[in-house]
Amino acid sequence: MGLNSGGGPPVFPAMVYAAAAAVVIFSLWGALNYYADETTYQSQAQNQDPYRIQASEDRFSGLRQAVPDQAELGYVTDAQEAALATALFDSAQYAVAPRLLEMNTMPDLVLGNFTHPADFQAEGAKYGLRLEHDFGNGVILYRRAKE
């Protein structure tokens, strides 16, 4: 049915050619449609940085400028919920790298990472720290108070 008895190239019914053409046309249409949808999705602002990584880096930029790269910093926060506290710590560690953050230790310098406005001087005093610099937006650099 698909072969010529004369030994030339196979000859198929017109319906086979029409079906193949339809497959090609629908494939191209689907690819173009996907490309248009993906372009629109990627250009929307809410999809640019869903984990707010750039905002975190901007938030800690003053601290990064003030503290040497090789510094080891203690860490305090006002976050009570464990999941939030962990997320804040991880975000801060990423943003201040290569500086090392250490929980539950009090080296000479300590990063305060606060979620709410407060009396940051008093917050630091709870841990025996004095406020060295308030970078704004809840980012505080403390220094261990000398005894």
- Lowest mean pLDDT segment, chosen from 12-21, 41-50, 85-94, 125-134: 41-50
Whole-number pLDDT of residue 134: 97
Band (pLDDT 50/70/90 cuts) for residue 12 is: confident
Q: What angle do CA 97, 48, 44 make, to 5 degrees?
A: 170
Give kind and range of the element (H or E) at residue 134: strand 129-136
Structure tokens given for 59: 């938030």
Which residue segment(s) compose the domain that 99 sits in? 53-144
Measure the CA dihedral 83/89/92/97, to 10°. -130
Q: Are residues 66 and 136 in the same domain?
A: yes
> What mean pLDDT value characterizes the chain?
90
Q: Which residues pair with 2 in a beta bridge?
A: none
Q: What 3-state class would DSSP assign to 17?
A: helix
* Class of residue 112 by CB neighbours under 10 A (exposed 0-12, middle 13-18, buried 19+): buried
- The pairing of strands 109-113 and 72-77 is parallel
Tens-place pLDDT, residues 70-101: 999 999 999 999 999 999 999 999 999 999 99
Tokens representing residue 94 in the block: 């990423």
Same domain membership, residue 125 and residue 60: yes
pLDDT tops 90 at residue 8: no
Residues 37 and 76 both lie in one domain: no
Does the pLDDT of residue 64 top 80, yes or no?
A: yes
The rounded percent of the chain whose pLDDT value lies above 70 is: 91
- CA 104 to CA 145: how far, in whole Å? 16
59 and 36, same domain (yes or no): no
Examine the fold and report which residue of 9, 29, 48 is the final residue of a domain before the chain moves on.
Answer: 48
Of 48, 67, 83, which one is at a domain's C-terminal end?
A: 48
Q: Record the pTM.
A: 0.67
Q: How many domains does the chain divide into?
A: 2
79 and 10: one domain? no
**pLDDT at res. 77:** 95
* pLDDT reading at 1 higher than 60: no
DSSP letter for each residue of 51-112 = T-HHHHHHHTHHHHHHS-TT-EEEEEE---SHHHHHHHHHHHHHHHTTSEEEET---SEEEE
Which has the minimum average pLDDT: 12-21, 42-51, 118-127?
A: 42-51
Is the domain of 58 the same as that of 9?
Answer: no
Residues 37 and 91 in one domain: no
